[in-house]
Structure 1
Amino acid sequence: MKIEKWKEGTSYDSIPKEIVQIWFKLRNIPPHMYNAEALSHFASLLENPLYMDKITEENKNFTYARMSVEVQPRSVLPNKITVVDRKGNATKMGIHYEWRPYRFVNCNTFKHSIMRCPKLMTNLKENKEQQMQNGEAKQQKVSSTNETVMENIQQKKVMPRGKMLRIRMKEQKEIKLKKREVRNERKLIK
């Protein structure tokens, strides 16, 4: 939730939702990089840096730095960033967001999540209607196909499925019997 100062005549719909302010904690910061300039640079890797909390500004807590940035719906919010110092040493710093806004990147907005997207809902309804229409057409095709199969069976062009299965089962039994006979002959020879 974003809290802003209320002004008379302001409605929720008039507030721009394309940019949102979020707070995050940056952990595992190398001691020599715990200064305002370096922290501002790290925050700018996420988006537009806004503020540092008082404890971070005064360098009172070296376990993490708490900062605020403005983000857009298409902003990437990583959980880690890797920093390489001048000596070539790489350090992975963890990022913990105090709040992540619902967003839908395709619409480029924070107004709704993917579950409540009006564009997707409209597309889903259209797809369902098309499927219903296609389903009715498929049912008509299936019934005509079944009729054709029945006609072929009646004209003895095609063998009914049940009869084919019985023939296959007989063939498999004959093959098994032959294999047994061969095994038995081998046993007698030994």
Structure 2
Amino acid sequence: MKTQLKSMLLFIAVSLIAFTGCKKSDLPVATSSEQGSVLGKAGGATQISAKTEGATQISGVAFLAATGECNSPLGQGAAFAIKMTGDLEGCLYAFIDDFECSPSGTYREEGRELFIGTYNGETGTFWTGYKFEGKYEGCAENGAPLGAEIFGRCQHPIVEGSGDGVFEGVTGRLDFKDDIEAGNFPFRGHLKF
């Protein structure tokens, strides 16, 4: 396993040097004590030290909220709500600001979202700005999608300074890719506190 990891890291470093025009002398070199603090073993899993101040990777699956599942007064006026499960547990309320649909069935939507829920058992909220793009069977005259969704994906950057509770000061992003067959929305992303 260590040999494979070393080989992969060597391949990446050589690729960076070859394709970016960097010289080996341009690459930062970590001392052995820095390497030890960044890559430590705990329970057999490699962990990143808090000293790196990197982002925390998150993932989960979301579903359209059933009636009564997401009913916070803060979400009042939302076009729809999504029930989040996984690293983020709670509700994501979508407020659509703009949308358009081309004759080919390509639908684009922009808006804002309010997440109300928990992370690691602690409560909080944050806002995102989002952009959705999907392909549908067609478009209605008013620019809304028409028929079944063929595929869809969206990006949700967290609005800086919008978090409270456990999300106070958080930045980051969520990315969803619709799973049409399963009828859900797997997500992944990162949070930086």
TM range (shorter): under 0.3
TM-score of the two chains, using structure 2 as the length reference: 0.18
* Structure number with higher relative contact order (C-alpha < 8 Å, ≥ 6 residues apart): 1
Higher helix share: 1
TM-score of the two chains, using structure 1 as the length reference: 0.18
